[in-house]
Amino acid sequence: MEADLLRFATAGSVDDGKSTLIGRLLFDSKSLFSDQLESVERVSRERGDQYTDLSLLTDGLRAEREQGITIDVAYRYFATPRRKFIIADTPGHIQYTRNMVTGASTADVALILVDARKGMTEQSRRHAFIATLLGVPHMVVCVNKMDLVDWSEEVFEGIRREFAEFATRLRLRDLTFIPLSALSGDNVVTRSANMPWFDGAPLLSHLERLHVASDRNLVDVRFPVQYVVRPQSHEHRDYRGYAGTVASGVLKPGDRIRALPAGLETEIASIETADGPVAEAYPPMAVTITLKDEIDISRGDMLCRPNNVPAVMQDIDAQVCWMDESASLATGKTYAIKHTTRWARAVVKQIDYRIDINTLHRVEGVDGLALNEIGRIRLRSTKPLFVDPYLTNRQTGAFILVDESTNRTVAAGMIVGESAA
């Protein structure tokens, strides 16, 4: 049986040890090439470090290495006999919150690092809130640098109680606490002899055994059409296929489907991949679907079940994280909106409130959202979008806003429901 894939994102305040933890995971799980390790050891020696700085394995930009911080999202892949992993190492600085949103948006697990000496910080709360806002189903709070507080159970329990109290205000399905030291490797891959009072599994064992298959939505069939395949050849003169990535649900040849926005129904004739026909398709497979009847379907349309269709709407109620430092989001502004494979234009009708990340309180009466701010807004799009609430479907419940004058992505949005017209 092929090992399944787990995506996890690290988050937390600056210097909480996120990059060092990932370096330790790669090192202790034997996922490093010898030349990578030699390079890190050499750079550490040249800088006069007293020990090999494992954070250099993920901090690739020169500015990051010189300052000892992470700025961009760094992705790393490693595997154990039980499971494959993709890690997103996200930055801790407040001005890079948008980068953290990018890294956590596809994650199955969020690792929130907390410095045992400092305890909960504003940034720890911010990242925990963003992770739940992005629908990350599992959260692991790693209380790091336990070696600097003499492996104190009292310190760990204090942080656990404080975080658990804060978490009662969040939508959290699964929360785990692990005390560790990324620098020395305690409780990262192997159990720590320095913390006999902790009877839980070390971090890697926990991640290997975490059940994530049930987090996928296999009920609501959603297939956004990305490309219409029409080969210009004598061999496939009448071939017409619809290529895309399965967003949710399971598709099989012979299934009845409805094409949106036309509303016409037909049956699936075949499902093909680069390796040939398959008996079924499920997320996140990239496939080409052929239909028994010729229906006018183009890029941006969606295939779904006749009795289970997404909401077709133009008035969108959503929470957004604003990502543009040069301009703020304001009522009346128009942006390009990309939802699944569909592009349209959308105008901001109303800003309901901004969320204070520290208190989670709603700040009403705001006239705009600045960089890294999160708020609830109402949009009106020029074309109908085929949406589900983000909490039930992360693929069809998400969108981005693009500034048409600069072509920059300025916001990431999560659909709450239909706004009042």
Per-residue model confidence (pLDDT) at position 1: 38
Long-range CB pairs of 200-208, under 8 A, 24+ apart, other chains included: 200/176, 202/178, 203/21, 203/25, 203/111, 203/140, 203/142, 203/178, 204/25, 204/28, 204/29, 204/80, 206/140, 206/176, 206/178, 207/6, 207/8, 207/83, 207/85, 207/109, 207/140, 208/80, 208/82, 208/83
pLDDT in the model for residue 250: 95
For position 66, what pLDDT does the model report? Answer: 42
What pLDDT, on the 0 to 100 scale, is given for residue 259?
95
Report helix angle 122-133 to 97-104, nearest 10: 40
pLDDT of residue 212: 81
**For position 36, what pLDDT does the model report?**
63
What pLDDT was estimated at residue 169? 83
Q: Let me know: does 251 contact 221? Beta carbons within 8 Å.
A: yes
Answer whether 129's CB lies under 8 Å from 319's CB.
no
Residue 65: the pLDDT is 38
| Confidence (pLDDT) at 35 | 61
Q: What is the pLDDT of residue 123?
A: 78
| Distance set, CA 112 to CA 10, 92, 122, 408 (Å) | 6, 10, 12, 29
pLDDT along the chain (421 residues), means of 10: 75 72 76 63 67 56 40 71 85 65 83 91 82 89 93 95 89 90 88 92 92 81 94 78 95 96 95 93 93 93 96 94 90 96 96 85 91 92 95 91 93 76 42
Half-sphere exposure of 355 (CA within 13 A, CB side): 18
- Cα dihedral angle (19, 80, 180, 98), rounded to 10 degrees? 40
pLDDT of residue 153: 94
Report the C-alpha gap between 358 and 298 in whole angstroms.
44
pLDDT of residue 244: 96
Q: What is the pTM of this model?
A: 0.81
Residue 274 β-bridge partners? none
Q: Which domains does the chain possess?
A: 5-215 (3.40.50.300), 222-304 (2.40.30.10), 311-418 (2.40.30.10)
